[in-house]
Amino acid sequence: MDQFKVQSELLKWLEEFVEAPNPSLGNWAPCPYARKARIDNQIKIEFIESVCRYRDSYEEILKDYEVVIYCFDHTKITGQDLAEWVRHENNIIIPNNYVILEDHPDTIEEINGVTMNFGQCGLLIVQELNRLNTASEQLKSKGYYDTWTKENLEDVVNWRFKNDT
């Protein structure tokens, strides 16, 4: 995996897709907070060899960043195995106020007809749970989730609140 190319493409995807208003999402950006986090240098991008051997000190790594994105070669793990691994890890870290969101090119995440995946490699997105849930509540009050199905809400958002510390 060419790390320079992946990082360049990831930043381009953040700017052109994740931060950009989308008509199918009620003219909301897929992540309305991503632009500010990127501009404020609050997103750290790391590369890891293997998801299964990955475990960081979240408190230490998120001390200086709001979001850490770990990029990895998705061909080394299936989308289903990644989802199971992330569920297991979240059971361990959620009580400590951290959460991992995963993105695997073979597990398509679609919201109102919009494919949300990066697609070029696997991603583990680590954040503080309370901060993420507070942002979700703010977005909900502004109508951000109005175009989402109940299934989308359950898969992407609601499960985090059920596990909130």
Measured between alpha carbons, how far is 155 from 160 in angstroms, rounded to an integer?
Answer: 9
Q: Which residues contact 69 (CB under 8 A, 6 or more apart)?
A: 10, 43, 44, 45, 46, 123, 124, 125, 126
**Alpha helices in 94-149, H assignment, sequence order:** 129-141
Task: Give pLDDT tens digits along the chain (165 positions).
Answer: 899 999 999 999 999 999 999 999 999 999 999 999 999 999 999 999 888 655 667 778 788 999 999 999 999 999 999 999 999 999 989 999 999 999 999 999 999 999 999 999 999 999 999 999 999 999 999 999 999 999 999 999 999 998 654
Query: Domain limits of the chain?
Result: 3-157
Largest pairwise CA distance in the chain: 41
Measured between alpha carbons, how far is 24 from 21 in angstroms, rounded to an integer?
Answer: 9
Neighbouring-strand partners of residue 100: 126
The predicted structure's pLDDT at residue 54:
58
Query: Quick one: DSSP state of residue 129?
Result: H
